[in-house]
Structure 1
Amino acid sequence: MIRSFLALLSLFALLSCGEMVTDQTKDARIFLMGDSMMAANRSSGKAVADEIERRLGQEVIDRSVYAARYFYYLPLTGAAGMRIGAQYQPGNWDWVVLNGGGNDLMFGCACGHCNTMVDRLISKDGRQGAIPQMVARIRKDGAKVVYSGYLRNPGLFTPVRACKPYGDELDRRLARLAATDPKGIFFLPMSDLVPHGDPSLHQQDLIHPSPKGSAAIGARIAATIRANGG
Protein backbone atom coordinates (compact mmCIF):
# COMPACT_ATOMS: atom_id res chain seq x y z
CA MET A 1 0.00 0.00 0.00
CA ILE A 2 2.72 2.47 0.97
CA ARG A 3 4.80 1.62 -2.09
CA SER A 4 1.77 2.12 -4.33
CA PHE A 5 1.08 5.50 -2.73
CA LEU A 6 4.68 6.61 -3.22
CA ALA A 7 4.62 5.45 -6.83
CA LEU A 8 1.47 7.45 -7.48
CA LEU A 9 3.00 10.48 -5.78
CA SER A 10 6.07 10.21 -7.96
CA LEU A 11 3.93 9.90 -11.08
CA PHE A 12 2.00 13.03 -10.10
CA ALA A 13 5.26 14.90 -9.60
CA LEU A 14 6.54 13.83 -12.99
CA LEU A 15 3.32 14.87 -14.70
CA SER A 16 3.35 18.25 -13.00
CA CYS A 17 6.98 18.96 -13.76
CA GLY A 18 7.91 21.55 -16.36
CA GLU A 19 10.14 21.44 -19.42
CA MET A 20 13.42 19.61 -19.83
CA VAL A 21 16.22 21.23 -21.79
CA THR A 22 16.27 19.60 -25.24
CA ASP A 23 18.03 20.20 -28.55
CA GLN A 24 15.13 22.48 -29.46
CA THR A 25 15.49 24.57 -26.30
CA LYS A 26 19.26 24.51 -25.78
CA ASP A 27 19.63 28.14 -26.91
CA ALA A 28 17.24 29.45 -24.25
CA ARG A 29 18.88 31.87 -21.82
CA ILE A 30 16.22 32.15 -19.08
CA PHE A 31 15.56 29.27 -16.68
CA LEU A 32 12.66 29.30 -14.21
CA MET A 33 12.09 27.05 -11.21
CA GLY A 34 10.10 27.00 -7.99
CA ASP A 35 6.71 25.97 -6.65
CA SER A 36 3.05 26.35 -7.59
CA MET A 37 3.16 30.15 -7.64
CA MET A 38 5.28 29.71 -10.76
CA ALA A 39 3.60 26.54 -12.08
CA ALA A 40 -0.02 27.74 -11.78
CA ASN A 41 -1.88 28.24 -15.07
CA ARG A 42 0.76 26.43 -17.13
CA SER A 43 -1.78 24.14 -18.78
CA SER A 44 -3.59 27.15 -20.24
CA GLY A 45 -0.40 28.88 -21.37
CA LYS A 46 -0.82 31.65 -18.81
CA ALA A 47 1.84 30.85 -16.22
CA VAL A 48 4.51 33.27 -15.02
CA ALA A 49 6.99 31.88 -17.55
CA ASP A 50 4.54 32.50 -20.40
CA GLU A 51 4.21 36.17 -19.45
CA ILE A 52 7.98 36.59 -19.23
CA GLU A 53 8.31 35.06 -22.69
CA ARG A 54 5.63 37.36 -24.06
CA ARG A 55 7.16 40.51 -22.64
CA LEU A 56 10.80 39.80 -23.43
CA GLY A 57 10.39 37.81 -26.64
CA GLN A 58 12.71 35.15 -25.22
CA GLU A 59 12.14 31.49 -24.50
CA VAL A 60 11.89 30.51 -20.84
CA ILE A 61 12.57 26.97 -19.64
CA ASP A 62 10.03 26.37 -16.88
CA ARG A 63 10.88 23.59 -14.40
CA SER A 64 8.60 24.70 -11.53
CA VAL A 65 6.49 22.06 -9.76
CA TYR A 66 3.34 22.23 -7.65
CA ALA A 67 3.99 21.71 -3.91
CA ALA A 68 7.78 21.86 -4.35
CA ARG A 69 9.88 22.84 -1.35
CA TYR A 70 13.46 22.94 -0.22
CA PHE A 71 13.17 20.25 2.45
CA TYR A 72 11.39 17.26 0.95
CA TYR A 73 12.02 13.87 2.51
CA LEU A 74 9.80 11.33 0.73
CA PRO A 75 11.73 9.05 -1.64
CA LEU A 76 11.45 8.85 -5.42
CA THR A 77 10.27 12.41 -5.91
CA GLY A 78 13.49 14.42 -5.75
CA ALA A 79 14.40 13.80 -9.37
CA ALA A 80 10.89 14.85 -10.39
CA GLY A 81 11.44 18.29 -8.93
CA MET A 82 9.51 18.14 -5.68
CA ARG A 83 12.74 19.33 -4.11
CA ILE A 84 13.46 22.76 -5.51
CA GLY A 85 17.17 22.04 -5.62
CA ALA A 86 16.51 19.06 -7.91
CA GLN A 87 14.80 21.26 -10.48
CA TYR A 88 17.95 23.15 -11.40
CA GLN A 89 19.76 22.22 -14.61
CA PRO A 90 23.18 23.79 -15.21
CA GLY A 91 23.39 25.56 -18.54
CA ASN A 92 24.42 28.71 -20.34
CA TRP A 93 21.74 30.72 -18.59
CA ASP A 94 21.84 34.49 -18.47
CA TRP A 95 19.08 34.52 -15.86
CA VAL A 96 17.58 32.05 -13.40
CA VAL A 97 14.20 33.01 -11.97
CA LEU A 98 12.97 31.18 -8.89
CA ASN A 99 10.87 31.28 -5.76
CA GLY A 100 10.34 28.89 -2.88
CA GLY A 101 10.06 28.46 0.85
CA GLY A 102 6.31 28.89 1.20
CA ASN A 103 5.57 25.17 1.13
CA ASP A 104 8.27 24.55 3.72
CA LEU A 105 6.34 26.91 6.01
CA MET A 106 2.98 25.36 5.15
CA PHE A 107 3.93 21.68 5.26
CA GLY A 108 7.07 21.76 7.36
CA CYS A 109 5.70 23.65 10.35
CA ALA A 110 2.06 24.36 9.44
CA CYS A 111 2.66 28.13 9.55
CA GLY A 112 3.08 27.97 13.32
CA HIS A 113 6.26 28.11 15.39
CA CYS A 114 8.22 28.38 12.15
CA ASN A 115 11.23 30.37 13.37
CA THR A 116 13.49 27.33 13.08
CA MET A 117 12.23 26.59 9.57
CA VAL A 118 12.83 30.18 8.48
CA ASP A 119 16.37 29.94 9.86
CA ARG A 120 16.93 26.72 7.93
CA LEU A 121 15.76 28.41 4.74
CA ILE A 122 17.80 31.58 5.23
CA SER A 123 19.65 33.10 8.17
CA LYS A 124 18.92 36.56 9.53
CA ASP A 125 21.86 38.07 7.66
CA GLY A 126 20.79 36.37 4.42
CA ARG A 127 24.05 34.47 4.01
CA GLN A 128 23.35 30.94 5.26
CA GLY A 129 20.65 28.34 4.69
CA ALA A 130 19.08 26.37 1.86
CA ILE A 131 18.10 29.42 -0.20
CA PRO A 132 21.51 31.18 -0.15
CA GLN A 133 23.14 27.83 -0.96
CA MET A 134 20.88 27.40 -4.00
CA VAL A 135 21.48 30.96 -5.15
CA ALA A 136 25.25 30.61 -4.69
CA ARG A 137 25.21 27.49 -6.85
CA ILE A 138 23.43 29.36 -9.62
CA ARG A 139 25.72 32.39 -9.37
CA LYS A 140 28.78 30.13 -9.52
CA ASP A 141 27.49 28.89 -12.88
CA GLY A 142 27.41 32.50 -14.10
CA ALA A 143 23.71 33.38 -14.23
CA LYS A 144 22.06 36.36 -12.62
CA VAL A 145 19.26 35.48 -10.21
CA VAL A 146 15.78 36.88 -9.77
CA TYR A 147 14.23 35.59 -6.55
CA SER A 148 10.49 36.24 -6.32
CA GLY A 149 8.58 36.73 -3.10
CA TYR A 150 5.00 35.55 -2.63
CA LEU A 151 1.70 37.26 -3.30
CA ARG A 152 -0.31 38.41 -0.31
CA ASN A 153 -4.09 38.82 -0.14
CA PRO A 154 -4.79 41.87 2.05
CA GLY A 155 -8.36 42.27 3.23
CA LEU A 156 -9.30 38.70 2.31
CA PHE A 157 -9.84 35.70 4.55
CA THR A 158 -7.26 33.21 3.40
CA PRO A 159 -6.38 29.67 4.56
CA VAL A 160 -2.69 30.62 4.80
CA ARG A 161 -3.08 33.86 6.74
CA ALA A 162 -1.07 32.43 9.66
CA CYS A 163 1.97 32.26 7.36
CA LYS A 164 2.13 36.04 6.90
CA PRO A 165 4.54 36.90 9.77
CA TYR A 166 6.95 34.22 8.59
CA GLY A 167 6.51 35.23 4.96
CA ASP A 168 7.29 38.83 5.86
CA GLU A 169 10.45 37.74 7.69
CA LEU A 170 11.44 35.59 4.73
CA ASP A 171 11.11 38.66 2.48
CA ARG A 172 13.32 40.73 4.78
CA ARG A 173 16.02 38.09 4.77
CA LEU A 174 15.83 37.64 1.00
CA ALA A 175 16.37 41.38 0.61
CA ARG A 176 19.52 41.06 2.73
CA LEU A 177 20.70 38.20 0.53
CA ALA A 178 20.22 40.36 -2.58
CA ALA A 179 22.17 43.18 -0.95
CA THR A 180 25.24 40.93 -0.76
CA ASP A 181 25.42 40.84 -4.58
CA PRO A 182 23.43 43.80 -5.94
CA LYS A 183 24.47 43.27 -9.56
CA GLY A 184 23.83 39.56 -9.59
CA ILE A 185 20.90 38.84 -7.24
CA PHE A 186 17.58 40.65 -7.45
CA PHE A 187 14.88 40.05 -4.86
CA LEU A 188 11.39 41.02 -6.04
CA PRO A 189 8.76 41.21 -3.29
CA MET A 190 5.23 40.54 -4.46
CA SER A 191 3.62 41.56 -1.18
CA ASP A 192 2.33 44.85 -2.63
CA LEU A 193 0.99 43.44 -5.88
CA VAL A 194 -2.58 42.63 -4.79
CA PRO A 195 -4.90 45.60 -4.08
CA HIS A 196 -6.71 45.48 -0.74
CA GLY A 197 -9.78 43.24 -0.92
CA ASP A 198 -9.20 42.31 -4.58
CA PRO A 199 -9.55 38.54 -5.19
CA SER A 200 -8.91 38.72 -8.94
CA LEU A 201 -5.18 37.98 -8.75
CA HIS A 202 -5.84 34.68 -6.96
CA GLN A 203 -7.66 31.49 -7.82
CA GLN A 204 -10.68 30.56 -5.71
CA ASP A 205 -8.45 28.90 -3.11
CA LEU A 206 -6.88 32.33 -2.40
CA ILE A 207 -3.46 30.64 -2.47
CA HIS A 208 -2.47 30.17 -6.09
CA PRO A 209 -2.34 33.02 -8.59
CA SER A 210 -5.05 33.38 -11.21
CA PRO A 211 -3.99 34.01 -14.82
CA LYS A 212 -4.17 37.73 -13.97
CA GLY A 213 -1.95 37.14 -10.96
CA SER A 214 0.58 35.12 -12.93
CA ALA A 215 0.67 37.87 -15.55
CA ALA A 216 1.34 40.51 -12.89
CA ILE A 217 4.16 38.45 -11.38
CA GLY A 218 5.66 37.77 -14.80
CA ALA A 219 5.46 41.44 -15.77
CA ARG A 220 7.40 42.49 -12.66
CA ILE A 221 10.07 39.87 -13.26
CA ALA A 222 10.38 40.73 -16.96
CA ALA A 223 10.78 44.43 -16.15
CA THR A 224 13.65 43.65 -13.79
CA ILE A 225 15.42 41.45 -16.32
CA ARG A 226 15.03 44.11 -19.03
CA ALA A 227 16.29 46.88 -16.74
CA ASN A 228 19.41 44.89 -15.90
CA GLY A 229 20.63 43.91 -19.33
CA GLY A 230 18.30 41.01 -20.06
Structure 2
Amino acid sequence: MFRPLIALFSALFLLSACGEVVTESTRDARILLIGDSMMAANRGSGRAVANAIERQLGEEVIDRSVIASRYFYFLPISGAAGLRLPAQYQPGGWDWVVINGGGNDLMFGCGCGFCNTMVDRLVSRDGTSGAIPELVARIRKTGAKVVYSGYLRNPGLYTPVRACKPYGDELDRRLARMAARDDGMIFLPMSDLVPAGDPSLHQEDMIHPSPKGSAAIGARIAAAIRANGG
Protein backbone atom coordinates (compact mmCIF):
# COMPACT_ATOMS: atom_id res chain seq x y z
CA MET A 1 0.00 0.00 0.00
CA PHE A 2 2.72 2.43 0.96
CA ARG A 3 5.20 1.48 -1.76
CA PRO A 4 3.25 3.12 -4.60
CA LEU A 5 2.91 6.28 -2.49
CA ILE A 6 6.62 6.30 -1.72
CA ALA A 7 7.40 5.84 -5.41
CA LEU A 8 5.01 8.65 -6.31
CA PHE A 9 6.44 11.09 -3.78
CA SER A 10 9.98 10.16 -4.84
CA ALA A 11 9.08 10.85 -8.45
CA LEU A 12 7.50 14.19 -7.57
CA PHE A 13 10.56 15.14 -5.51
CA LEU A 14 12.90 14.32 -8.36
CA LEU A 15 10.80 16.16 -10.89
CA SER A 16 10.75 19.20 -8.63
CA ALA A 17 14.53 19.33 -8.99
CA CYS A 18 14.27 19.85 -12.75
CA GLY A 19 15.82 22.94 -14.25
CA GLU A 20 14.05 25.59 -16.28
CA VAL A 21 11.62 24.35 -18.90
CA VAL A 22 12.26 25.35 -22.50
CA THR A 23 9.03 26.86 -23.85
CA GLU A 24 8.03 28.89 -26.87
CA SER A 25 8.47 32.05 -24.81
CA THR A 26 12.09 31.20 -24.01
CA ARG A 27 13.19 29.91 -27.40
CA ASP A 28 14.56 33.33 -28.33
CA ALA A 29 17.25 32.92 -25.68
CA ARG A 30 20.71 32.28 -27.13
CA ILE A 31 22.35 30.61 -24.12
CA LEU A 32 21.46 27.29 -22.48
CA LEU A 33 23.15 26.11 -19.31
CA ILE A 34 23.18 22.50 -18.13
CA GLY A 35 25.11 20.77 -15.37
CA ASP A 36 25.15 19.72 -11.75
CA SER A 37 25.07 21.44 -8.37
CA MET A 38 28.05 23.65 -9.14
CA MET A 39 25.74 25.40 -11.57
CA ALA A 40 22.47 24.95 -9.65
CA ALA A 41 23.77 26.16 -6.26
CA ASN A 42 22.27 29.44 -5.04
CA ARG A 43 19.49 29.41 -7.66
CA GLY A 44 16.82 29.81 -4.97
CA SER A 45 18.24 33.24 -4.06
CA GLY A 46 18.77 34.27 -7.68
CA ARG A 47 22.56 34.08 -7.34
CA ALA A 48 23.43 30.96 -9.32
CA VAL A 49 25.98 30.83 -12.12
CA ALA A 50 23.30 31.42 -14.77
CA ASN A 51 22.14 34.55 -12.95
CA ALA A 52 25.71 35.85 -12.91
CA ILE A 53 26.09 35.22 -16.65
CA GLU A 54 22.82 37.06 -17.26
CA ARG A 55 24.04 40.07 -15.31
CA GLN A 56 27.38 40.10 -17.09
CA LEU A 57 25.99 39.76 -20.62
CA GLY A 58 22.65 41.48 -20.16
CA GLU A 59 20.64 38.65 -21.68
CA GLU A 60 18.61 35.64 -20.64
CA VAL A 61 20.22 32.29 -19.84
CA ILE A 62 18.03 29.19 -19.72
CA ASP A 63 19.23 27.23 -16.68
CA ARG A 64 18.39 23.50 -16.76
CA SER A 65 21.09 22.38 -14.32
CA VAL A 66 20.04 19.88 -11.64
CA ILE A 67 21.57 19.11 -8.27
CA ALA A 68 23.17 15.64 -8.08
CA SER A 69 23.07 15.09 -11.85
CA ARG A 70 25.49 12.61 -13.39
CA TYR A 71 26.32 11.24 -16.81
CA PHE A 72 25.75 7.67 -15.64
CA TYR A 73 22.48 7.60 -13.72
CA PHE A 74 20.19 4.64 -14.19
CA LEU A 75 17.13 5.29 -12.01
CA PRO A 76 14.01 5.12 -14.22
CA ILE A 77 13.02 8.70 -13.42
CA SER A 78 16.54 10.09 -13.87
CA GLY A 79 16.10 11.22 -17.47
CA ALA A 80 12.82 13.02 -16.90
CA ALA A 81 14.15 14.73 -13.78
CA GLY A 82 17.37 15.85 -15.46
CA LEU A 83 19.44 13.76 -13.07
CA ARG A 84 20.95 12.09 -16.11
CA LEU A 85 22.88 15.09 -17.28
CA PRO A 86 22.61 14.64 -21.08
CA ALA A 87 18.81 14.61 -20.70
CA GLN A 88 18.96 18.24 -19.55
CA TYR A 89 19.82 19.32 -23.08
CA GLN A 90 16.89 20.38 -25.21
CA PRO A 91 17.14 21.53 -28.82
CA GLY A 92 16.66 25.23 -29.44
CA GLY A 93 18.15 28.12 -31.30
CA TRP A 94 21.15 28.21 -29.00
CA ASP A 95 24.29 30.06 -29.95
CA TRP A 96 26.01 28.83 -26.78
CA VAL A 97 25.55 25.86 -24.48
CA VAL A 98 27.36 26.07 -21.14
CA ILE A 99 28.06 22.71 -19.50
CA ASN A 100 29.71 21.27 -16.45
CA GLY A 101 29.59 17.74 -15.07
CA GLY A 102 31.40 14.54 -14.27
CA GLY A 103 32.19 15.32 -10.65
CA ASN A 104 29.23 13.38 -9.27
CA ASP A 105 30.22 10.37 -11.37
CA LEU A 106 33.61 10.46 -9.66
CA MET A 107 32.13 11.08 -6.21
CA PHE A 108 29.24 8.62 -6.30
CA GLY A 109 30.15 6.33 -9.17
CA CYS A 110 33.53 5.29 -7.82
CA GLY A 111 33.81 7.05 -4.47
CA CYS A 112 36.77 9.19 -5.56
CA GLY A 113 38.93 6.07 -5.47
CA PHE A 114 40.04 3.73 -8.26
CA CYS A 115 38.28 6.05 -10.72
CA ASN A 116 40.47 5.50 -13.78
CA THR A 117 37.76 3.48 -15.50
CA MET A 118 35.15 6.12 -14.70
CA VAL A 119 37.34 8.90 -16.11
CA ASP A 120 37.76 6.79 -19.27
CA ARG A 121 33.99 6.42 -19.53
CA LEU A 122 33.56 10.17 -19.25
CA VAL A 123 36.23 11.09 -21.77
CA SER A 124 39.06 9.09 -23.31
CA ARG A 125 42.69 10.04 -22.80
CA ASP A 126 42.85 11.67 -26.24
CA GLY A 127 39.51 13.42 -25.80
CA THR A 128 37.79 11.73 -28.72
CA SER A 129 35.31 9.35 -27.09
CA GLY A 130 33.20 8.91 -23.97
CA ALA A 131 29.98 10.34 -22.56
CA ILE A 132 31.18 13.95 -22.57
CA PRO A 133 32.42 13.98 -26.20
CA GLU A 134 29.15 12.30 -27.23
CA LEU A 135 27.08 15.06 -25.62
CA VAL A 136 29.27 17.84 -26.98
CA ALA A 137 29.22 16.35 -30.50
CA ARG A 138 25.43 16.17 -30.36
CA ILE A 139 25.26 19.86 -29.45
CA ARG A 140 27.91 20.96 -31.91
CA LYS A 141 26.00 19.37 -34.80
CA THR A 142 23.35 22.06 -34.26
CA GLY A 143 25.93 24.80 -34.80
CA ALA A 144 25.97 25.93 -31.17
CA LYS A 145 29.29 26.62 -29.49
CA VAL A 146 30.08 24.95 -26.18
CA VAL A 147 31.73 26.25 -23.04
CA TYR A 148 32.66 23.33 -20.80
CA SER A 149 33.46 24.48 -17.27
CA GLY A 150 35.84 22.71 -14.95
CA TYR A 151 35.33 22.50 -11.18
CA LEU A 152 36.44 24.80 -8.40
CA ARG A 153 39.29 23.67 -6.18
CA ASN A 154 39.95 24.84 -2.62
CA PRO A 155 43.76 25.05 -2.26
CA GLY A 156 45.10 25.11 1.26
CA LEU A 157 41.76 24.16 2.79
CA TYR A 158 40.18 20.92 3.95
CA THR A 159 37.65 19.38 1.60
CA PRO A 160 35.63 16.20 2.13
CA VAL A 161 36.25 15.19 -1.50
CA ARG A 162 40.00 15.86 -1.59
CA ALA A 163 40.59 12.29 -2.82
CA CYS A 164 38.85 13.28 -6.07
CA LYS A 165 41.50 15.86 -6.96
CA PRO A 166 43.83 13.59 -8.99
CA TYR A 167 40.89 12.35 -11.04
CA GLY A 168 39.47 15.85 -11.39
CA ASP A 169 42.85 17.09 -12.61
CA GLU A 170 43.00 14.28 -15.17
CA LEU A 171 39.46 15.07 -16.30
CA ASP A 172 40.54 18.70 -16.84
CA ARG A 173 43.53 17.60 -18.92
CA ARG A 174 41.37 15.40 -21.12
CA LEU A 175 38.74 18.09 -21.60
CA ALA A 176 41.49 20.50 -22.63
CA ARG A 177 42.69 18.00 -25.26
CA MET A 178 39.13 17.59 -26.45
CA ALA A 179 38.66 21.36 -26.82
CA ALA A 180 41.95 21.67 -28.70
CA ARG A 181 40.39 19.57 -31.48
CA ASP A 182 37.33 21.78 -31.94
CA ASP A 183 37.31 25.54 -32.50
CA GLY A 184 33.67 25.59 -31.39
CA MET A 185 34.39 24.23 -27.91
CA ILE A 186 36.05 26.09 -25.06
CA PHE A 187 37.27 24.27 -21.99
CA LEU A 188 37.29 26.75 -19.14
CA PRO A 189 39.17 25.53 -16.06
CA MET A 190 38.11 26.80 -12.67
CA SER A 191 40.98 25.18 -10.77
CA ASP A 192 42.80 28.50 -10.33
CA LEU A 193 39.77 30.60 -9.42
CA VAL A 194 39.95 30.22 -5.62
CA PRO A 195 42.87 31.98 -3.89
CA ALA A 196 44.87 29.69 -1.59
CA GLY A 197 43.33 29.55 1.88
CA ASP A 198 40.24 31.57 0.91
CA PRO A 199 36.99 29.82 1.97
CA SER A 200 34.69 32.60 0.75
CA LEU A 201 34.03 31.12 -2.69
CA HIS A 202 32.64 27.92 -1.16
CA GLN A 203 29.68 27.10 1.01
CA GLU A 204 30.35 25.61 4.44
CA ASP A 205 30.44 22.10 2.97
CA MET A 206 33.55 23.14 0.98
CA ILE A 207 32.07 21.47 -2.10
CA HIS A 208 29.46 23.82 -3.54
CA PRO A 209 30.11 27.42 -4.53
CA SER A 210 28.90 30.25 -2.33
CA PRO A 211 27.07 33.14 -4.01
CA LYS A 212 30.49 34.79 -4.37
CA GLY A 213 31.83 31.61 -5.98
CA SER A 214 28.88 31.37 -8.37
CA ALA A 215 29.41 35.00 -9.35
CA ALA A 216 33.10 34.35 -10.06
CA ILE A 217 32.31 31.27 -12.15
CA GLY A 218 29.64 33.15 -14.08
CA ALA A 219 31.95 36.10 -14.71
CA ARG A 220 34.63 33.83 -16.15
CA ILE A 221 32.13 32.07 -18.41
CA ALA A 222 30.62 35.35 -19.59
CA ALA A 223 34.08 36.72 -20.38
CA ALA A 224 34.85 33.65 -22.48
CA ILE A 225 31.60 34.01 -24.42
CA ARG A 226 32.23 37.72 -24.97
CA ALA A 227 35.81 37.08 -26.12
CA ASN A 228 34.66 34.49 -28.64
CA GLY A 229 32.11 36.49 -30.53
CA GLY A 230 29.45 36.85 -27.86
2:41 is the alignment partner of 1:40 = yes
Q: Tell me, yes or no, if the aligned pair for 2:14 and 2:77 is still in contact at 8 Å.
A: no
Corresponding residue number in structure 1 for 2:107: 106
The reply to whether residue 150 of structure 1 matches residue 151 of structure 2 is yes
CA contact (8 A) 2:66 2:83 kept: yes
Secondary structure of 1:24's match? helix
Are the counterparts in 2 of residues 55 and 219 from structure 1 also a CA contact under 8 Å?
yes
Please show how residues 64-213 of structure 1 align to structure 2 within 5 Å. 64-181=65-182, 183-213=183-213
Match of 2:228 in 1: 228
Cα RMSD of the aligned pairs, angstroms, is 1.1
TM-score, normalised via structure 2 length:
0.97
Letter in 1 for 2:196: H
Q: Read off the aligned partner of 1:216 and give its amino acid letter.
A: A
Deviation track 1:147-190 (CA, whole Å, cap 9, x = no partner) reads 00000011111110000000000000000010010x20000000
Counterparts of 1:2 and 1:112 in 2: how far apart (Å)? Answer: 34
Q: Deviations over 1:23-42 (max 9, x none)?
A: 22110000000000000000
- 2: CA distance, partners of 1:8 / 1:150: 32
- Report how many aligned residue pairs link the two structures: 229
Q: What's 1:30 paired with?
A: 31
Structure 2 distance, partners of 1:167, 1:8, is 34
Instruction: Give the Cα separation in 2 of the matches to 1:110 and 1:3.
Output: 31
Cα shift at 1:21: 1.3
Q: CA deviation at 1:11?
A: 2.1
1:5 Cα deviation after fit: 4.6
CA spacing shift, 1:122–1:5, aligned 2, 3 Å? farther
Question: Could you report, residue by residue, the CA deviation over 1:69-108 in whole angstroms, capped at 9, with x for unpaired residues?
Answer: 0000111221110000110001110000000000000010
TM-score (norm 1): 0.97
Distance 2:3 2:200 in 1: 39
The residue type paired with residue 127 of structure 1 is T
Residues 31 and 61, structure 2, Cα contact 8 Å, conserved in 1: yes
Answer whether contact 1:9 1:77 (CA < 8 A) is retained.
no
CA distance in 2, matches of 1:6, 1:139: 37
Taking structure 1 as reference, are residues 214 and 49 closer, same or farther at Cα in structure 2, changes over 3 Å only?
A: same
Q: 1:191 to 1:3 in 2, by over 3 A?
A: farther
Conserved 8 A contact 2:96-2:144: yes
Deviations 1:35-80 (A, max 9, x none): 0000000010000000000000110000000000000011122111
1:13 is displaced (CA, Å) by 2.3
1:17 Cα deviation after fit: 1.6
Q: Do 2:127 and 2:178's aligned partners in 1 also have CA atoms closer than 8 Å? A: yes
Give the letter for the 2:116 counterpart.
N
Runs (4+) of structure 1 exceeding 4 A deviation are 1-6
Q: Any conservation in 2 of the 1:34–1:65 contact (CA below 8 Å)? A: yes
- In the aligned structure 2, how far is the partner of 1:25 from the partner of 1:158? 38
Gaps of 5+ in 2: none
| SS of 2:11 mapped into structure 1 | helix
